[in-house]
Structure 1
Amino acid sequence: MSLNLTGTPTDVGTGGDTLTTDLNTQFQAADMVWVGTAAALVWIMVPGIGLLYSGLSRKKHALSLLWASIMAVGVVSFQWFWWGYSLVFSHSTRGNGFIGTLQFFGFKDVLGAPSSVTSVPDILFALFQGMFAMVTGILMVGGACERARLFPMMVFLFLWITIVYCPIACWTWNAEGWLAHLGALDYAGGGPVHICSGHGALIYALILGKRNDPVAKSGMPKYKPHSVTSVVLGTVFLWFGWFGFNGGSAGNATIRAWYSNVNTNLAASCAALSWMFIDYFRFGRKWTTVGLCSGAIAGLVGITPAAGFVPVWASVIIGIVTGIGCNFAVDLKNLLHIDDGLDVYALHGVGGAIGSVLTGIFAADYVNDSAGSEAAAIAGGWINHNYKQVGYQLAAICSTVAWTCTVTAALLLIMDRIPFLRLRLRADEEELGTDGAQIGEFTYEEHEMYIPEPIRSHQSAQVPNPTNIDDKIQTDDAPSSSDHTGHPTEKVVV
């Protein structure tokens, strides 16, 4: 029996009655196929971040970071369904573009009406943008590396995505957002994803305090990455997924999507080489793998706000400048005395800000217009003699940093005063490791470390035969190792 689809799609509610109306006719099938594929590519970035973080950590904490990546998928997916998508991309906003309404609460009416990006329907755009929220969430929890209790982390993540990420994403990407009206440019998330997650991680690390370190009584601890192979594999997942992250942000399958992917790959490559060469001359004359991977991620972060706006040649500059800037920004944790062990702030907070400023300089109207009839006109940046664009970019950076730091700090300080939401592991639990204390499973099963049930916060953690566990201190005559930056360390804890 054939359907009698004679109705006309609308741009309100669900977009029409599917029993009488073909809602697909108002969209290009190629656009929907590409954005859907890009959403799947972005999803793979979340476990990629888990692999990266796990590889950079010590063995006794490695599983907890893989756990965190899958946890982030679950928590943020539910939050996005519950009210996250509505708070960001409802078709009307409150507070002059500050936050969305609950129009789409529980995905009510999320179906075939044109979304904030009119080339795709709400249901597809909700899928795609939900992946961005997941990536932001798992990046942010990296600030809690090796010392956070996991249940409070879950509660915090749900609340943080709601009251920190959602308003910033609404400002930037909702057609009625105040930063969008101001004229700030952010192609794929320099502000809402990277600046937001980087500064959120910095505050999380600050509130939790420095990790207990038997070697470095003063200064920031430096630990040996337990698996450089996992670091490489995580970087591969991220680089691969970033083609969906940036390419899909065009919202269509036009030339602009593929142009942004060329920019993405080139910027990452130039940043990887820049970081590696800097480390070679600064530290030990070694071509470090971790440094190469860190540089690639810095370049991917830097090009994110710019990918669909800047000429290809500008991506080389953005990659080099971001690679150099993030490399030196790693040293900021020593100046700030904040134990950001995975360098989330240096790579994402600083890298996102650098990329946003350079977007204001190199944004070109002709690159944006490569989307053809689906393009929304922009005035460009300095190369189009639109010199005030950098001012708009700085306004976006400052507002994002101020909101993220203030609200994140307030949320964490309030939670930490609620007994069952205490943020940090006790000293004995931290010594045992997050995997043993909170999960009861291990990345590498060792009979000495097997614990039938997780150690509870009120119990004393007793570790048999401590000389055999993976947290022993390396002797002075053991070879030097590297932290996340690829920088050699004098003494390391495995």
Structure 2
Amino acid sequence: MGAVLEETYDSGVVAFLILCTALVFIMVPGLGFLYSGLARRKSALSLIWAVLMACCVGIFQWYFWGYSLAFSKTATNKFIGNLDSFGFRDVYGKVESDDQYPELVFANYQNMFLCVTLAIIAGATAERGRLLPHMVFLFLWATLVYSPIVCWIWSSNGWAASWGVLDYAGGGPVEIGSGVGGFVYSWFLGKRKEKLLINFRPHNVSLITLGTVLLWFGWLGFNGGSAFAPTMKAMMAIMNTNLTASFAAMTWCLLDYRLEKKWSTVGLCSGLVSGLVSSTPASGMITPYGSVILGIVTGIVCNFSTGLKYLVGVDDSLDILAEHGIAGMLGLFFNALFAADWIIGMDGSTEHPGGFISHNYKQIYKQIAFIAACTGYVAVVTSLICFVIDKIPGLKLRANEYAEAAGMDEDQIGEFAYDYVEVRRDFLSWGNNNQMEQNQDGSYIPNPLNHQDDHIPRVETHDGENGESSELSDHQHLDQEKQGV
């Protein structure tokens, strides 16, 4: 006779967590579209590939040993778990007799958090990073950085959890981890070539908007599901998420308008993402009016933080540090100020004295210490992983200059997001091959798309009459096509 599971669960809670697992997963393609739109068309597809493959790496790592290192039931180490649940061994039914859902549901829900984190970091490869070394990096990073920090804050034995640090849905492991980790990875990759950045703009704002909307949609499951039951706390987290995101978006747009006198869609999306990030550690902890203040502060601080990369000389091309790392730190710090014991206890089981507004003043230094510990640990260990991988033959992190000029789609993928401009993506050079290009202010600069300096592969053509071959650049070849030659 076959074995029959005899445990019973709250089917409403199980269904809620399964739904939230699917919602969090949709954030992964959302990030792919967002990053793809922010890049140039010649690297648009490579970023979608990087994000989706990062999700695959995260699923493998979590099943292999990531979940065990973060949440193993028998671990007593306050820093990292053991391998007792290696390969999801015995990760099936209830952990405690009064649990409302099986461990398998919890483990798969938490897996999506890792997938989103790795997908965020994948944006650091934008327009110059090789994909295979990055996937190796992500597996090691998930093992040595993400799993330990999750153990610190979400395992019952973790030092931060035992100390009373408040991190509702991942300000430490997800946001500081991805923001600081992606920034360090960008530092190791180095800057993109300056001559290729002239007049740089995102190639598809519609994709950016689509990706942001998918992120917002999924984030409701990300934060709402972290209550682990369809309770009032879940709805409070969703409301706080929307409040923070909305006020951050409005603030960001106002700051951009003062400079450009235009209402930027990219600015709107940037503000929404930074607000969603800062709500992650705080949405199930702080009051609604605290979320409004958090949104305004996030919009201001993260907007100006986009300039940090220029101060330190790091080409953080997608502003991962500003919109994830800094925003995550803000959310964690706001827990020290606006966390309320009555909101934390809305799930009917969690007891905590809250933060400053609940007269628990010592929460301030606990939150600051956790922020510092996460930031320092992520920066140091990520640097070590990058340094080692980059020295391994065949795993050099950065593509060469030729590949960067041709685009990551051509060098790493061999397929293109826009087939109708696959070879013709330098369409601005059509018409003539002028050496100079006119700016909006009337001044002239060297044309970065001039065929003499673009390092684009040359193609061989044949004369129809005598069969002689000659080499033409892509631009000359296209000029001939347009003229009917």
Q: Structure 1-normalised TM-score?
A: 0.85
The one-letter code matched in structure 1 to 2:352 is I
Task: Render the CA deviation track for 1:44-82: whole Å, top value 9, x for unaligned.
Answer: 001100100000000111001111121012111111111
Q: Hey, what does 1:387 align to over in structure 2?
A: 361
C-alpha change, 1:340 and 1:359, in structure 2 (3 Å) is: same
The one-letter code matched in structure 2 to 1:322 is T
C-alpha change, 1:491 and 1:28, in structure 2 (3 Å) is: farther
Kindly state the Cα deviation for residue 115 of structure 1 after the two structures are TM-superposed. 7.3
Kindly state the Cα deviation for residue 473 of structure 1 after the two structures are TM-superposed. 11
C-alpha change, 1:367 and 1:46, in structure 2 (3 Å) is: same
Given that residues 20 and 109 in structure 2 are in contact (C-alpha distance below 8 angstroms), is that contact kept between their aligned partners in structure 1? Answer: yes
Q: Hey, what does 1:19 align to over in structure 2?
A: 3
Q: 1:167 aligns with which of 148, 151, 157?
A: 148
Q: Hey, what does 1:69 align to over in structure 2?
A: 51
Work out the CA distance in 2 between the residues paired with 1:474 and 1:405: 42
Q: 1:29 aligns with which of 11, 17, 39?
A: 11
Matched pairs, number: 445
Work out the CA distance in 2 between the residues paired with 1:152 and 1:137: 14
Q: Which runs of 4+ in 1 moved over 6 A?
A: 463-466, 490-494
C-alpha change, 1:291 and 1:116, in structure 2 (3 Å) is: farther
User: Is residue 2:352 matched to residue 1:368?
Assistant: no
Work out the CA distance in 1 between the residues paired with 2:184 and 2:17: 33
Q: Hey, what does 2:319 align to over in structure 1?
A: 343
Given that residues 305 and 352 in structure 1 are in contact (C-alpha distance below 8 angstroms), is that contact kept between their aligned partners in structure 2? Answer: yes
Task: Render the CA deviation track for 1:14-54: whole Å, top value 9, x for unaligned.
Answer: xxxx9365212xx3221111111001000000110010000
- The share of aligned pairs that are identical, in percent, is 46
C-alpha change, 1:366 and 1:493, in structure 2 (3 Å) is: farther
Q: Hey, what does 2:84 align to over in structure 1?
A: 103
The one-letter code matched in structure 1 to 2:380 is T
C-alpha change, 1:146 and 1:298, in structure 2 (3 Å) is: same
Given that residues 448 and 464 in structure 1 are in contact (C-alpha distance below 8 angstroms), is that contact kept between their aligned partners in structure 2? Answer: no
Q: Hey, what does 1:247 align to over in structure 2?
A: 224
Task: Render the CA deviation track for 1:221-253: whole Å, top value 9, x for unaligned.
Answer: 772000000000000000000000000000111
The one-letter code matched in structure 1 to 2:293 is I
User: Is residue 2:438 matched to residue 1:476?
Assistant: yes
Q: Hey, what does 1:323 align to over in structure 2?
A: 299
Q: Hey, what does 2:478 align to over in structure 1?
A: none
Q: Hey, what does 1:485 align to over in structure 2?
A: none
User: Is residue 2:230 matched to residue 1:268?
Assistant: no
Work out the CA distance in 1 between the residues paired with 2:98 and 2:373: 24
Work out the CA distance in 1 between the residues paired with 2:98 and 2:6: 20
User: Is residue 2:309 matched to residue 1:311?
Assistant: no
Q: 2:390 aligns with which of 410, 413, 416?
A: 416
Matches within 5 A, 1:19-98: 19=3, 22-24=6-8, 27-95=9-77, 97-98=78-79
Work out the CA distance in 1 between the residues paired with 2:368 and 2:41: 40
Q: 2:308 aligns with which of 326, 329, 332?
A: 332
Kindly state the Cα deviation for residue 122 of structure 1 after the two structures are TM-superposed. 1.0
Q: Hey, what does 1:178 align to over in structure 2?
A: 159
Task: Render the CA deviation track for 1:155-203: whole Å, top value 9, x for unaligned.
Answer: 1111111111110111111111111011100000111100110000110
What secondary structure, in the 3-state scheme, does the structure 1 residue paired with 2:437 have? coil
User: Is residue 2:204 matched to residue 1:227?
Assistant: yes
What secondary structure, in the 3-state scheme, does the structure 2 residue paired with 1:419 have? coil
What secondary structure, in the 3-state scheme, does the structure 1 residue paired with 2:222 have? helix
C-alpha change, 1:474 and 1:64, in structure 2 (3 Å) is: farther
The one-letter code matched in structure 2 to 1:243 is L
Work out the CA distance in 2 between the residues paired with 1:274 and 1:430: 35
Work out the CA distance in 2 between the residues paired with 1:118 and 1:101: 22
C-alpha change, 1:304 and 1:128, in structure 2 (3 Å) is: same
Work out the CA distance in 1 between the residues paired with 2:436 and 2:423: 19
C-alpha change, 1:255 and 1:272, in structure 2 (3 Å) is: same
Kindly state the Cα deviation for residue 464 of structure 1 after the two structures are TM-superposed. 10
Kindly state the Cα deviation for residue 94 of structure 1 after the two structures are TM-superposed. 4.8
Work out the CA distance in 2 between the residues paired with 1:241 and 1:305: 16
Q: Hey, what does 1:441 align to over in structure 2?
A: 415
Gaps of 5+ in 2: 450-485
Work out the CA distance in 1 between the residues paired with 2:192 and 2:283: 37
Task: Render the CA deviation track for 1:88-147: whole Å, top value 9, x for unaligned.
Answer: 11113253x111111111111110123799443210011100000001001112122111
- Structural RMSD (CA): 2.6
Q: Structure 2-normalised TM-score?
A: 0.87
Given that residues 336 and 367 in structure 2 are in contact (C-alpha distance below 8 angstroms), is that contact kept between their aligned partners in structure 1? Answer: yes
Q: Hey, what does 1:455 align to over in structure 2?
A: none
Task: Render the CA deviation track for 1:291-334: whole Å, top value 9, x for unaligned.
Answer: 01100111111111111111111110111111111000001011
Q: Hey, what does 1:123 align to over in structure 2?
A: 104
User: Is residue 2:129 matched to residue 1:152?
Assistant: no
The one-letter code matched in structure 2 to 1:356 is L
C-alpha change, 1:465 and 1:270, in structure 2 (3 Å) is: closer
What secondary structure, in the 3-state scheme, does the structure 2 residue paired with 1:308 have? coil
Kindly state the Cα deviation for residue 465 of structure 1 after the two structures are TM-superposed. 9.8
Q: Hey, what does 2:123 align to over in structure 1?
A: 142
The one-letter code matched in structure 2 to 1:54 is S
The one-letter code matched in structure 2 to 1:421 is L
Work out the CA distance in 2 between the residues paired with 1:118 and 1:437: 50
Work out the CA distance in 2 between the residues paired with 1:271 and 1:69: 25
Given that residues 10 and 100 in structure 2 are in contact (C-alpha distance below 8 angstroms), is that contact kept between their aligned partners in structure 1? Answer: yes
What secondary structure, in the 3-state scheme, does the structure 2 residue paired with 1:422 have? coil
Task: Render the CA deviation track for 1:395-417: whole Å, top value 9, x for unaligned.
Answer: 11111111110011011111111
What secondary structure, in the 3-state scheme, does the structure 2 residue paired with 1:475 have? strand
Work out the CA distance in 2 between the residues paired with 1:102 and 1:28: 29
Given that residues 76 and 157 in structure 2 are in contact (C-alpha distance below 8 angstroms), is that contact kept between their aligned partners in structure 1? Answer: no
Kindly state the Cα deviation for residue 491 of structure 1 after the two structures are TM-superposed. 11
